[in-house]
Amino acid sequence: MENKQLNAKAVKNFLSNNAIIILIFILALFVGFVADNFWTSNNFKNLVVNVSPRFIIACGVSGCLITKGTDLSAGRQVGLAACLAAMMLQSVDYAARALPWMPDLPWFAALLIVIPIMAVFGAINGCVIAFLKVPPFIATLGMQTIVYGLCSVVTGNDPLGGFKSSYSQVALGSLGPIPYLAIFAIVVGAYMLFLYNKTRHGKYMYAIGGNENAAQVAGVNVPATLIRIYVLASVLYAVAGFMVGAKAGGASTATGFGYELEAIAACTIGGVSTNGGVGKVGGILIGVLVFEILKICLQFLRVDPAYTFIAQGLVIIVAVALDLRKYLAKK
């Protein structure tokens, strides 16, 4: 009897802890039945290609969230990275080249140049948060605006196109059945898995999120760890921006708009707690998948894009509310 009650409680807990994931899974099943071509390899590939850069962005934001911070500049940084990569990788014979003096760079050279440039923004975010003690919400909100402004200056507000084929191929090509973009995501995912679970940096990150004061007492170098987290985040935005540019076949100041919110939402759905100290790489992947599946489902149901935004916003709020409820109940 008691066992039964326990089981019922466990089931209830599981349902409420994973409510959104379950609901969206049911939605996907429903859409699969009512819409044609939902269960096609094409749609699946589309999902994978969409998830890949977003997963990388979410990995970047996750470190900030786990340490009770956030990074609102993520989306704009992705946009700037995409624009920088685009400027370096336009075809040499394209008439409207932004940088006519730019030599014919291989795509990975451009990526290697974009990464350190973007890392500077992460370092600034990290220093402002760690040393000036500006709340991450405000610090990265300011950075969001700064990066957007810089992006406008650098691009002159002109959209960038005419990519050389090797760059476009990054998004289009695949290794056997696996799209190149997915390979980026797999490599980043494996690296994050290692970093979060097998290194001092990971342990310090969780410790700061769990209890910053206690971590300091235990000898954790809190500022250095925070700066590393925000730098890594920006490096990942650089990679993601590079991928987003390739995928879209163009980049502009509008690229990456709103990606930070999607990333934060995906992390929260995937069990990264806004209360800090909790979050797994696997969970983040699930969160991103769920969020993308939701978008695809709404598309298939022919929901007006305007309503799609409303649905996404609701999912974000509900996800955080459910997450916080877990902690409220414990008190």
Partner 1 sequence: MSEYRLEMRDVVKTFPGVKALDHAQLKLRPGTVHALMGENGAGKSTLMKCMFGIYHMDEGEVVYEGQKVQIKGPLDALNRGIAMVHQELQPIPERSIGENIYVGRYPTKRIGPIVTIDHEKMYQDAAAVLKEVHLNYDPKAKLGSLSVSQMQLVEIAKAVSADCKVLILDEPTSSLTAAEVEALFTIVHELRQKGVAIVYISHKMDEILRISDEVTIMRDGQYIGTWDAKGLTTDFIITKMVGRELSNLYPPRSNVPGEVVFEVEDFTSINPKSFRHASFQVRRGEILGVAGLVGAQRTELMEGLFGLRCHSAGKITYKGKELKINQPKQAIDSGIAMLTEDRRATGILGVLSIADNVSIASLNQYLIGGFMLDDGKIEQLVQDNVAKLSIKTPSSKTLIQSLSGGNQQKVLISRWLANDPDVFILDEPTRGIDVGAKYEIYCIIAELAKQGKSVIMISSEMSELIGMSDRIMVMCDGRVTGFIDGKDANQENIMALATQFE
Question: What's the sign of the alpha-carbon dihedral 92, 94, 98, 101?
Answer: positive
Q: Please give the residue ranges that form the binding site for partner 1 (CB under 8 A).
A: 194, 198-200, 203-204, 206-207, 209-211, 213-221, 273, 275-278
Q: Residue 293 Cβ, how far from partner 1 at the closest point, in Å?
A: 29
Phi, psi of 253 (to 5 degrees): -65, -20
Q: Residue 223 Cβ, how far from partner 1 at the closest point, in Å?
A: 10
Q: Of 74 and 229, which CB lies nearer to partner 1 in the complex structure?
A: 229
Instruction: Give the whole-angstrom CA distance, residue 197 versus residue 190.
Output: 11
Q: Of 68 and 76, which CB lies nearer to partner 1 in the complex structure?
A: 68
Q: Of 211 and 308, which CB lies nearer to partner 1 in the complex structure?
A: 211
Question: What's the sign of the alpha-carbon dihedral 315, 283, 324, 78?
Answer: negative
CB atoms closer than 10 angstroms to residue 175? 9
Q: Residue 142 Cβ, how far from partner 1 at the closest point, in Å?
A: 23
142 DSSP assignment: H
Q: Residue 145 Cβ, how far from partner 1 at the closest point, in Å?
A: 27
Q: Residue 323 Cβ, how far from partner 1 at the closest point, in Å?
A: 13
Distance of CA 245 to the CA centre of its chain: 15
Q: Of 12 and 198, which CB lies nearer to partner 1 in the complex structure?
A: 198
Instruction: Give the whole-angstrom CA distance, residue 89 versus residue 266.
Output: 31
Distance of CA 48 to the CA centre of its chain: 14
Q: Of 126 and 276, which CB lies nearer to partner 1 in the complex structure?
A: 276
Q: Residue 209 Cβ, how far from partner 1 at the closest point, in Å?
A: 8
Q: Of 174 and 275, which CB lies nearer to partner 1 in the complex structure?
A: 275
Instruction: Give the whole-angstrom CA distance, residue 63 versus residue 232.
Output: 9
Instruction: Give the whole-angstrom CA distance, residue 166 versus residue 90.
Output: 10
- Judging by DSSP bridges, how do beta strands 174-175 and 178-179 pair with one another? antiparallel
Place of tokens 């700037």: 80
Q: Of 211 and 312, which CB lies nearer to partner 1 in the complex structure?
A: 211
Q: Residue 88 Cβ, how far from partner 1 at the closest point, in Å?
A: 32
Q: Residue 203 Cβ, how far from partner 1 at the closest point, in Å?
A: 6
Q: What is the DSSP string of 79-108?
A: HHHHHHHHHHSB-TT-TT-S-TT-----HH
Which parts of 131-221 fold into alpha helices (H)? 136-155, 165-172, 180-198, 200-210, 212-217
Q: Of 225 and 252, which CB lies nearer to partner 1 in the complex structure?
A: 225
